[in-house]
Structure 1
Amino acid sequence: MSEPQTDRTGAVVHVALDETRAVSAYTVRLDDGTLAGRADFVDPPGAPGERVFFHTEVAPEFGGRGLAGLLVGEALADSIRRNLTVVPVCPLFAKHLRKHGDEYTARGGRVRRPRPADLALVEETVKGRGDA
């Protein structure tokens, strides 16, 4: 997906789209392939062209390295490339877009506020993977 990036420690990391699991996600891996974090999303079946981001997590042992920011940044850049409207249910995505939303939309990004149906879809998705 993206070119290799470096985290705050200077380590090489790779952000990629993983649609092979029950819940699709952008993942960040260390150069040796170790999974360090993920940004989970669901594409609403009744709303083509939208992507609901609902959970971002970086393993505690990799905290403080800026990996969550790299995940969010690449997920948003890919959403622009794919012409998707982002629906930020995840607090990290919402915070990022509150701070950088004007820049994101200036680059061609689209955002809409979550609706009750989005929250219900997220709840159903999470239950479906057994996390609830």
Structure 2
Amino acid sequence: MTEQRTDRTGAPVHVALDATRGISAYTVSLDDGTLAGRADFVDPPEAAGERIFFHTEIAEEFGGRGLAGLLVREALAESIREDLTVVPVCPVFAKHLDKHGEDYKADGGRFRRPRPADLAAVKQATEGGA
């Protein structure tokens, strides 16, 4: 999955899924290939059909261009297409769903509040146990 979009400056950017590492992520890159940010997630094997988003980061030099919002919207749209329930541990995802959750559900999305087991799954993945 690679989607071309434009940021707030009108510059082309690309949002892509990077599942080549232990922790998967949606990434946003500039047209020249420079990585500008990422939204990390895990798909816990014990909770099939769920995706836990736990960290979103945009490089400081690319702040203010709306890239975090692009990442969140693309990741959520892909979660709908894959019929996944989103678990927003990341404050960026949680804030977006607090504000736009009803619209997300109306588009066919599902999400739920994080539980202790979700935090444990993130901890396991980030400590190399996944």
TM range (shorter): over 0.9
- Alignment TM-score, normalising by the size of structure 2: 0.96
Aligned to 2:58: 58
Aligned to 2:24: 24
Superposed CA RMSD in Å reads 1.0
Runs of at least 4 residues off by over 6 Å: none
CA distance in 1, matches of 2:57, 2:6: 18
CA distance in 1, matches of 2:27, 2:8: 17
Post-superposition Cα deviations, 1:40-85, rounded to whole Å, max 9, x if no partner, equal 0000111111000000000001001000000000000000000000
- Alignment TM-score, normalising by the size of structure 1: 0.95
Unaligned runs of 5+ in 1: none
Aligned residues: 129
CA distance in 2, matches of 1:55, 1:98: 17
Q: Percent identity?
A: 76
Aligned to 2:45: 45
Deviation at 1:2, TM superposition (A): 4.4
Deviation at 1:87, TM superposition (A): 0.3
Structure 1 residues 5-16: aligned runs within 5 Å: 5-16=5-16
Unaligned runs of 5+ in 2: none
CA distance in 2, matches of 1:40, 1:94: 14
CA contact under 8 A between 1:27 and 1:38: conserved in structure 2? yes
